[in-house]
Amino acid sequence: MIEWFSYTQVAVAVVAGLLCVVLGLIGKVPNDLTMGATALVEVLLVVQLVMSLVAPAFGNTPTGDPLEFWVYLVSAVLLPLAGGFWALIDRTRWSTVVLGAVCLAVAVMVYRMNVIWFVQLA
């Protein structure tokens, strides 16, 4: 992981999540903006996946449990896909709120991955 990139991911996911929750609560159905924000969160997660595969080859290894890190990462990658699928099938305001909840959950998961990668004490 690259620390600045993970903080950028958290910020983008929080903004996307709040946007989707607010739009859902005022009655908006999933649209290009909410789906696009969720797709951006997913693209950043895929980039993080690739970086996490490559980083150990360059000496940037996690200080915490690698299995825990990878479970978080794989779960985080799957969440926006599942939320987006739900939003495409159930075109109601609540699926927009679900997109927001997914993005906020991803923000928490990426923050936790950052802690696992960098902050573990021996």
Mean model confidence pLDDT for the chain: 94
Angle at Cα 91 formed by Cα 43 and Cα 10, nearest 5°? 30
The string of DSSP letters for 75-94 reads HHHHHHHHHHHHHHHS-SHH
Model pLDDT, residue 62: 85
Global pTM reads: 0.92
What are 5-52's pLDDT values in tens digits? 999 999 999 999 999 999 999 999 999 999 999 999 999 999 999 999
Instruction: Name the residue ranges covered by the structural domains of the chain.
Output: 3-118
Reply yes or no on whether the pLDDT at 59 is more than 90: no
CA distance 77 to 70: 10
Angle at 52 between CA 50 and CA 53, to 5 degrees: 65
Please report, rounded to a whole number, the percentage of residues in the chain having pLDDT higher than 70.
98
10's CB contacts (< 8 A; 6+ apart) are 107, 110, 111, 114
